[in-house]
Amino acid sequence: MTDHTGTTADDDAREDMTNPLERKVVTAILYAVDVGDRLRLIELMEPLHPADIADLLEQINAFDRMRLIKLYDREFDGEILTELDESIREEVIRTLNPEVLADAVRELDSDDVVDLLEDLDEAQQEAILDVLEDSDRVAVEQSLTYPEYSAGRLMQREVVMAPEHWTVGEAIDYLRRTEDLPEQFYHIVLVDPKLRPVGNVTLGKLMSSRREVALASLLEETFHVIPVTRPESEVAYAFNQYHLISAPVVDENDRLVGVITIDDAMAVLDEEHEEDILRLAGVGEESRLSDSVLETTRQRFPWLAVNLVTAVLASLVIAQFEAAITQVVALAVLMPIVASMGGNAGTQALTVAVRALATRDLTGSNVWRVIGREVMVGLVNGLAFALVMGLVGIFWFGSPALGGVIAAAMVINLVVAGLAGIVVPVVLDKLRVDPALASGAFVTTVTDVVGFFAFLGLAVLVLL
């Protein structure tokens, strides 16, 4: 079998890729905007999906964006708005002709309108709510009463349901009679007389069963009901863990109020991951490529300020050993190595721990085993690099004692890095502080301080 696995698909990834926003296309579109050729612009935009148009608007600069939107005018599709990054959504909404905006918003499903409204200021929210029909407006306002980032905000209110005692035939006749079914639906939700969901029947099962079969006999095995206040991150986790396609949402009385589908869950999962990566790197989680210089500076400044405090702490440790450094200047040359190795080892351990906490793989059942593992990994890697650095000390500086000091400091700091890398995120998680956000600063402080102190302290004991 092994001969089958020789090639991997990544090799020719890009040749194969059809990129709708090729450089050529973007250039042609911007040229059409420059010369004000509306027909040509519409022609060029026609093959693009609203998601691609949103990407295009994010990639070009603000001036081109404004001119493009003005020229495109009433071709502007509501779905483009829902696909746009929040950072430029407000700007685009302000640019749009009010009539075009009204048409665009009226096309959207209620959950998309909610998503749109969440990030706008009050005046803009009112402007959009005003163009909705009364029933839509009520639905949207109702959704906005649920907490931000909850299932209630994520769900769509349009649900296809049936009484639990119906047969396949009754359900099919009902579907055929009903005028305004949702655009996409995958299940019929069976409900009891109090409107509490009791199970899902897939459309596939419905289509392939005889008319007289009871719906209740066709229920899917996996059935998850989601409370309306559940955080969207947990909703995404459940969809991913249990391979759900859609799940009913219930209010505090267990009554069916909406349904969440996998595409919404996938979008949440995508955002959560993005936030985790950006938080781990100390970048504001809302960071976008289209943010301005000032906005970006503002997002990154706090993390750099935290790092400055950490670095100054480390400097205070070094300052205690000024006399030693004046006598053996090699200490100053070698000391950043110990701190840097510790910082990297700590980051490795904490990244694994933060991810495992997010995916619920790190629990009370295995936390001690994982702590033990990290310490052992730190010890083994520490010994390996101690050997290397010992040799560097001997051959570069001709001092076996200096080699011994840096080797011992390396072992100490890598063990501490492994320990801090797992303990800090676990403790932060217990304290309900997001470990992705805060672990890095703590762990680096520990490895910097311990790294400098162990190396310089041992040097004073052994060399002076």
- Contacts with its own copies in 206-245 (CB under 8 A)? 206-210, 222, 227, 229-234, 239-243, 245
End-to-end CA distance of the chain: 64
**45-53, 95-103, 104-112, 193-201 -> range binding its own copies (CB under 8 A):** 45-53
The residue among 7 and 193 lying less far from its own copies, judged by its C-beta, is: 7
Minimum gap (Å) between residue 322 Cβ and its own copies? 5
Q: Print the binding letters for residues 404-433 with its own copies: x by CB under 8 A, - otherwise.
A: ----------------------------x-
Segment 154 to 173, residues that bind its own copies, using CB under 8 A: 172
Q: Does 381 bind its own copies (CB under 8 A)?
A: yes
d(Cα 248, Cα 262) in Å, to the nearest integer?
12
Query: Among residues 122, 133, 134, 252, which is the contact residue for its own copies, using CB under 8 A?
Result: 122
d(Cα 156, Cα 39) in Å, to the nearest integer?
36
- Contact call for residues 459 and 402 (beta carbons, < 8 A): yes
Phi, psi of 212 (to 5 degrees): -85, -5
User: Distances from the Cα of 338 to the Cαs of 56, 273, 389, 424, 454, in angstroms?
Assistant: 46, 32, 9, 20, 9
Q: Does 362 bind its own copies (CB under 8 A)?
A: yes
Segment 88 to 107, residues that bind its own copies, using CB under 8 A: none
d(Cα 236, Cα 251) in Å, to the nearest integer?
19
The residue among 193 and 221 lying less far from its own copies, judged by its C-beta, is: 221
Query: Among residues 72, 76, 166, 385, which is the contact residue for its own copies, using CB under 8 A?
Result: 385
Which H or E run includes 258? Answer: strand 256-261
**68-76, 98-106, 131-139, 174-182 -> range binding its own copies (CB under 8 A):** 174-182
d(Cα 386, Cα 154) in Å, to the nearest integer?
53
d(Cα 133, Cα 137) in Å, to the nearest integer?
6
Which H or E run includes 93? Answer: helix 86-95
Q: Does 176 bind its own copies (CB under 8 A)?
A: yes
**86-94, 102-110, 192-200, 368-376 -> range binding its own copies (CB under 8 A):** 368-376
Query: Among residues 66, 213, 216, 392, which is the contact residue for its own copies, using CB under 8 A?
Result: 392
d(Cα 159, Cα 110) in Å, to the nearest integer?
12
Both tokens of 20, joined, read 């709708």
Residue with tokens 């911007």: 30
Segment 322 to 351, residues that bind its own copies, using CB under 8 A: 322, 325-326, 329-337, 339-341, 344-345, 347-348, 350-351
Applying CB under 8 A, the site for its own copies has a residue count of: 153
**33-41, 65-73, 92-100, 141-149 -> range binding its own copies (CB under 8 A):** 141-149
d(Cα 274, Cα 289) in Å, to the nearest integer?
13
Segment 52 to 81, residues that bind its own copies, using CB under 8 A: 52, 55, 58-61
d(Cα 441, Cα 116) in Å, to the nearest integer?
35
Query: Among residues 137, 196, 255, 355, which is the contact residue for its own copies, using CB under 8 A?
Result: 355
Query: Among residues 314, 415, 454, 459, which is the contact residue for its own copies, using CB under 8 A?
Result: 314
d(Cα 94, Cα 23) in Å, to the nearest integer?
28
Q: Does 186 bind its own copies (CB under 8 A)?
A: yes
User: Distances from the Cα of 437 to the Cαs of 253, 278, 302, 428, in angstroms?
Assistant: 36, 9, 12, 10
Query: Among residues 106, 138, 361, 462, which is the contact residue for its own copies, using CB under 8 A?
Result: 361
Minimum gap (Å) between residue 86 Cβ and its own copies? 14
Minimum gap (Å) between residue 323 Cβ and its own copies? 8
Segment 251 to 310, residues that bind its own copies, using CB under 8 A: 262-263, 265-267, 269-270, 273-274, 276-278, 280-283, 287, 289, 292-294, 296-297, 300-301, 303-304, 307-308, 310
Q: Does 149 bind its own copies (CB under 8 A)?
A: yes
Q: Does 178 bind its own copies (CB under 8 A)?
A: yes
Give the single-character DSSP code of 147.
Answer: P
Residue 112 half-sphere exposure toward CB, CA atoms < 13 A:
15
| DSSP character string of 357-408 | HHTT-S-TTTHHHHHHHHHHHHHHHHHHHHHHHHHHHHHHH--HHHHHHHHH
Q: Does 117 bind its own copies (CB under 8 A)?
A: yes
